[in-house]
């Protein structure tokens, strides 16, 4: 007798195959999310030589017939390596969207696996494809559901408490949605999900304290790559383990989750894509409100006739998540550490008089060598706050608040500036325009305004073939990067 799969695997699969997304707002949000993520990919392809070294076929010069055309590059790859490459491009500069909860997440990471598989299927298997139609509407539906799977798990399940990195949820959401795109049966999809839970999972060591290294920029790509690999293995006939979560002693709950079962505080639907935080500056998401607050304080400071040199101390009241992830002292050895350091980004913004940019974190940046910044960084104090943490976890608020006050050497105190909803948050009225401006700014790194207009028109066409859409981001055949 075949045993049933553990209930969380069944409920996820039921949502994936039987829940119809009907909300126009969800699809509007998904279009914004899609364009934002692809804009981030173009930015990375344009600006990061470090990321560029990770891209391309494992054997140089290899071109995969009908393979995935990686946006912002001239590469055409198999869907497994293609998922890794796009995952790197979306995530590497820490500029893609974010979502807070008991676990943290960057839901747009999932686009790498979804787009690589969908584009490959569209080119290679369109006439024999047994899954959903390979159109923009299907792409957006896949994105909404991947966001939702990762987002709902993240709200109430703290994998970080067990030392596991949040990309475990990228692997989960991507493996499930890719299985659906491939046209696998519900039973095969549950088998694929079981392989996710059986897999070894990354330690979050590479994101924390003195151990932050560039792996945080390619970890999601690695998760996407493995998700696609698992789905293809199951399509080739590999079976799953129904009790992968509950088996004793080696099931996931016992081995990786302290013997606890998963908790869910809301049903799967389309909540996540409508509530994601867009990052209009390349700063770890929990630090963006502090950057906005310190820029307000800078205006006050100068208006009172003071300068940055008069600042004795900066006190930041913020969430426990921010305290855990980006409250860092001591040397910062690389760009990955700097964009994940509250003290660095706040000191940088105050001295610079503007938001941090990607180049500010690089070893050759004048800010990295600045003695003034280092001195000021040592005088930034981060304190976790229970109320801000509660509001951060509240599904009705989902604020990522920071309160920042400035103490001067002469005893003057600049009262706290509290920012709860930064630009990029769904509750901030400036978000929509700022995200669109970010997309256009990133796309102009490679493409002309006329070409950008064609992309914006294509994403509105529900029936547009995915491969036609992807071609708009690919560089092969162009005489130069600007089309």
233 and 301 share one domain: no
- 208 located within any domain: yes
Domain stops at, among 222, 248, 278:
278
Closest CA to 73 of 483, 474, 478, 412: 474
308 and 262 share one domain: no
Closest CA to 311 of 283, 350, 360: 350
326 and 242 share one domain: no
143 and 210 share one domain: yes
225 and 305 share one domain: no
358 and 227 share one domain: no
- 378 located within any domain: yes
Q: For residue 470, count CB atoms less than 10 angstroms from its CB and return exposed for 0-12, middle for 13-18, buried for 19 or more.
A: buried
Q: Rounded to 5 degrees, what angle do the CA atoms 457, 121, 166 make?
A: 85
How many domains are contained in the chain?
Answer: 2
Quote the CA–CA distance of 105 and 101 in Å, as a whole number: 8
Give the domain range for residue 366: 287-419
Domain stops at, among 220, 250, 278:
278
CB 112 within 8 A of CB 84: yes
- Token duo for residue 100: 């807070």
Please give the chain's pLDDT, 483 residues, in tens: 478 999 999 999 999 999 999 999 999 999 999 999 999 999 999 999 999 999 999 999 898 999 999 999 999 999 999 999 999 999 999 999 999 999 999 999 999 999 999 999 999 977 789 999 999 999 999 999 999 999 999 999 999 999 999 999 999 999 999 999 999 999 999 999 999 999 999 999 998 767 889 999 999 999 999 999 999 999 999 999 999 999 999 999 999 999 999 999 999 999 999 999 999 999 999 999 999 999 999 999 999 999 999 999 999 999 999 999 999 999 999 999 999 999 999 999 999 999 999 999 999 999 999 999 999 999 999 999 999 999 999 999 999 999 999 999 999 999 999 999 999 999 999 999 999 999 999 999 999 999 999 999 999 999 999 999 999 999 974 444 555
76 and 180 share one domain: yes
243 and 304 share one domain: no
Query: What are the angstrom distances between the C-alpha of 266 and each of 155, 271, 304, 312, 395?
Result: 9, 9, 49, 45, 10
Domain stops at, among 254, 278, 302:
278
263 and 338 share one domain: no
81 and 133 share one domain: yes
190 and 232 share one domain: yes
- 456 located within any domain: no
- 237 located within any domain: yes
Q: Nearest 5°: phi and psi at 381?
A: -110, 130
Q: What is the CATH number of the domain that holds 415?
A: 3.30.1330.120
- 93 located within any domain: yes
270 and 296 share one domain: no
- 36 located within any domain: yes
Q: What is the CATH number of the domain that holds 169?
A: 1.10.4100.10
Q: For residue 3, count CB atoms less than 10 angstroms from its CB and return exposed for 0-12, middle for 13-18, buried for 19 or more.
A: exposed
- 443 located within any domain: no
Q: Rounded to 5 degrees, what angle do the CA atoms 230, 233, 234 make?
A: 90
- 465 located within any domain: no
């Amino acid at each position: 007798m075949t045993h049933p799969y553990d209930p969380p695997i069944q409920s996820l699969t039921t949502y994936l195959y039987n829940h119809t997304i009907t909300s126009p707002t969800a699809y509007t949000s998904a279009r914004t999310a899609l364009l934002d993520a692809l804009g981030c990919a173009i930015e990375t392809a344009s600006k990061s030589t470090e990321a560029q070294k990770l891209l391309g076929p494992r054997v140089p010069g290899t071109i995969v017939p009908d393979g995935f055309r990686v946006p912002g590059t001239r590469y055409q790859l198999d869907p497994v390596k293609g998922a890794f490459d796009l995952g790197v491009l979306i995530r590497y500069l820490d500029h893609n969207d974010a979502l807070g909860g008991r676990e943290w997440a960057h839901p747009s990471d999932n686009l790498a696996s979804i787009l690589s598989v969908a584009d490959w299927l569209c080119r290679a298997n369109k006439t024999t494809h047994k899954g959903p139609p390979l159109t923009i509407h299907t792409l957006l539906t896949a994105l909404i559901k991947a966001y939702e799977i990762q987002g709902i798990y993240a709200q109430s399940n703290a994998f970080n408490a067990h030392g596991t990195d949040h990309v475990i949820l990228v692997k989960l959401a991507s493996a499930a949605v890719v299985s659906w795109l491939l046209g696998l049966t519900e039973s095969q999809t549950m088998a694929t999900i079981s392989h996710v839970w059986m897999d070894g999972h990354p330690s979050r060591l590479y994101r924390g304290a003195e151990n932050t290294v560039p792996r945080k920029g390619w970890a999601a790509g690695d998760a996407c790559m493995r998700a696609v690999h698992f789905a293809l293995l199951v399509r080739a006939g590999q079976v799953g383990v129904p009790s992968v979560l509950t088996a004793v002693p080696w099931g996931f709950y016992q081995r990786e989750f302290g013997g606890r079962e998963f908790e869910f505080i809301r049903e799967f639907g389309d909540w996540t894509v409508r509530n994601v935080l867009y990052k209009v500056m390349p700063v770890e998401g929990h630090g963006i409100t502090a950057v906005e607050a310190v820029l307000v304080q800078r205006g006050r400071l100068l208006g009172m006739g003071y300068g940055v040199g008069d600042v004795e101390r900066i006190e930041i009241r913020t969430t426990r998540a921010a305290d855990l992830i980006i409250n860092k002292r001591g040397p910062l050895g690389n760009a990955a550490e700097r964009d994940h350091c509250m003290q660095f980004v706040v000191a940088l913004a105050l001295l610079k008089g503007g938001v941090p940019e990607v180049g500010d974190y690089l070893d050759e940046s004048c800010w990295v060598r600045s003695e003034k910044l280092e001195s000021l960084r040592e005088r930034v104090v981060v304190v976790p706050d229970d109320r801000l943490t509660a509001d951060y976890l509240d599904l009705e608020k989902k604020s990522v608040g920071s309160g920042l006050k400035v103490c001067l050497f002469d005893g003057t105190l600049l009262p706290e500036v509290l920012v709860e909803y930064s630009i990029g948050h769904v509750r901030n009225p400036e978000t929509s325009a700022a995200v669109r401006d970010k997309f256009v700014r990133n796309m102009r790194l490679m493409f002309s305004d006329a070409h950008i207009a064609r992309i914006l028109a294509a994403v509105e066409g529900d029936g547009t073939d995915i491969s036609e859409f992807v071609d708009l981001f690919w560089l092969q055949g162009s005489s130069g990067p600007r089309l």
